[in-house]
Amino acid sequence: MMCTSIIDVANGFGIPSYVFVTFGAAALGLMLHLQRLRDEQNVDLTEYKDSDAEISVPTHLKPVPAAVWPSSVFFKESDHLDFVKRYREAKALIVNTFLEFESHQIRSLSDDEKIPPIYPVGPILHQEGDQIEKEKQNNKEIFEWLDKQPDSSVVFICFGSQGFLGGDQVKEIALALESSRHRFLWSLRKPPPKEKIEFPGEYENPEEVLPQGFLERTAGIGKVIGWAPQMAVLSHPSVGGFVSHGGWNSMLESVWCGVPMAVWPLGAEQQANAFLLVKEFEMGVEIKMDYRRESDVIVGAGTIEKAIKQLMDPENEIRVKMRVAKEKSRMALTEGGRHAIT
């Protein structure tokens, strides 16, 4: 998605160019709309920063608040929308989504003559059975613990391979988990050094960042781990809820496994994904949709606990909707599955 300069090379050789979009059709539609506002209507998007404004976007059924736009659009020096502008030069856009999940979004993009043809080819996931079994063998302690838990009883907290939160926020999550009394598996990652561009690391001793005595008090119902093989965990029958940053891959994995989500976006297009899931599809629980990791905001334990209880409520209708989406995601990958618009 960020390599659009290759279009020039392809044009020089008379080769058609296709752009593979790793986020969904809704986020793609939002970015293309914002790019059009900037370049065709001379709208200064930076003026929307920290505003309560909402705009109509063709790929969305509800007005989209500026609070869930990607942060990059609010900075004049950002070239993110310049990449998006060049998507329009491609022969077609290949998107990791499927028609039954983002039907309105895909059709809206396809109806726009100024946007190249859309090919939904998803869900593309790390789902090979052999790989999942290998991850289970390499992480026996996690899965032996999960095997002992009742079906759909565990809430899994994981913010992706690059996800982490500061110490004060970690303590609020811990308080929420302890108060909720729900079983939990928590992938707790250590922030990378500020002066380096690295992935989050592992705590040698998680107690250094958790409330005193937390691990002892929750030993019977919870487990704190480092990196987690996310797809394998979500596939386990004991997992009944997923607290996630709302990255597109995580969202598709959650749908594939039929596990309801509580979304807590950190950055990139995750706020827009959260808006789609919670407000448009009504298939998820909001923790704080407009949260951004670079802010000084701390989400309180009460807010987190309330969301977890709502997520794990067996009567919550999002469970039914997620089961339906699960079946549709699997049908999309079968012979004759609907990846194209007819």
Which residue would you say has higher pLDDT here, 139 or 256? 256
CB 22, CB 2: distance < 8 Å:
no
Q: What residue type is assigned to position 110 of the chain?
A: S
Q: Are the C-beta atoms of 21 and 28 separated by less than 8 Å? A: yes
Conformational region of residue 316, where left means phi above 0, alpha means psi within -120 to 50, and beta covers everything else: beta
Instruction: Please write the tens of the pLDDT for every residue from 237-265.
Output: 999 999 999 999 999 999 999 999 999 99
Q: Report the alpha-carbon distance of residue 54 to residue 37 in Å, rounded.
A: 14
129-329 topology per CATH: Rossmann fold (3.40.50)
How far is Cα 68 from Cα 274, in angstroms, rounded to an integer?
8
Give me the chain's average pLDDT, please.
Answer: 93
Q: Compute the distance between CA of residue 336 and CA of residue 182 in angstroms, rounded to an integer.
A: 41
H or E element at residue 10: helix 6-13
CATH class of 6-120: alpha beta
What is the mean predicted confidence (pLDDT) over 124-136?
77
Report angle CA 61, 66, 71 to the nearest 5 degrees.
Answer: 120
Taking only the tens place, the pLDDT of each residue in 222-234 is: 999 999 899 999 9
Confidence band of 342 (pLDDT split at 50, 70, 90) = very low
User: How large is the average pLDDT for residues 5-28?
Assistant: 96
The DSSP letter of residue 7 is H
Ranges for all domains in the chain classified under CATH 3.40.50.2000? 6-120, 129-329
d(Cα 335, Cα 321) in Å, to the nearest integer? Answer: 24
For residue range 324-338, list pLDDT tens digits in order: 999 999 999 887 765
Tell me the average pLDDT across 107-134. 88
Task: State mean pLDDT over 172-184.
Answer: 97
Q: Is the pLDDT of residue 47 over 80?
A: yes
Burial class (CB in 10 A: 0-12, 13-18, 19+), 257: buried
Q: What is the pLDDT of residue 338?
A: 56
Under DSSP, the state recorded for 334 is S
Report pLDDT digits (tens) over 183-196: 999 999 998 887 77
Share of the chain residues as helix, strand and coil, in percent rounded to the nearest 5: 40, 10, 45
Using 50, 70 and 90 to split pLDDT, how confident is the model at 127? low
